[in-house]
Amino acid sequence: MAPEEDFDYEALLDRAKKDLPQTLEAHDRFQIPEPDVMIEGKTTVIRNFGVIAETLRRDPAHLYGYLLRELGTAGSLEGSRVVFKGKVGTAQIVDRIRSYVEEYVLCSECDRPDTRIVKDGRILILTCETCGAHRPVHVRKQAKQEEAKDIEAGKTYDLMIEDIGKKGDGLARKGKYVIYVPGSAKGTQVKVRIDKVSGNMAFGTRVA
């Protein structure tokens, strides 16, 4: 009989980790590609849009439609790139893509990206291939809509102007919203009536 081996728990654990398939290890390193954004005249281009959609394992048209709604703009899907009308900031695009990942990609149970969207009648179901969990996609969407009540057109808010935009408008923030306020200086506290809400942006007017 072979002599009894004195196994060390930590050594066994390290050995088990080394034997894990590469596909499992890759989950822990899941990263969303940084959008390659370029301004062309009066348009904004995401040059690596196809790579982003492929990494997320989602239909490019689905991701494209989501971004149009969230950014409140128009555009076109041109092969592996997307063109938006107007100048859209990189930070805004990154934020919307992250929101898409949270809503349409990551499993709400194990937080893994190995999911797929299936349609059950009129309801979209996010199914996880790792843990088997599934949920209606609209669950998180409803939560976002409830947050939207923090900013409503016609209401007035006390805001701090944190920055100045390229066109000279003051920029304030409330929750996930960036609010454009013409005629405001950086660092001032102003009372603003919201005139319009579009996606995660809002446009307001200073009131006395």
Integer Rg of the chain from CA: 23
Q: Would you say the pTM of this structure is higher than 0.85?
A: no
Q: Element (H or E) spanning 58, and its range?
A: none
Helix then strand count (H, E) for the chain reads 6, 12
103: left (phi over 0), alpha (psi -120 to 50) or beta: alpha
Instruction: Supply the DSSP symbol for 150.
Output: G
Digit-by-digit pLDDT tens for the chain (208 residues) are 444 445 565 665 555 545 544 433 334 457 889 999 999 999 999 999 999 999 999 999 999 999 999 999 999 999 999 999 999 999 999 999 999 999 999 998 888 899 999 887 778 889 999 898 888 886 443 344 444 457 888 999 999 999 888 888 999 988 888 899 999 999 999 999 999 888 788 899 999 7
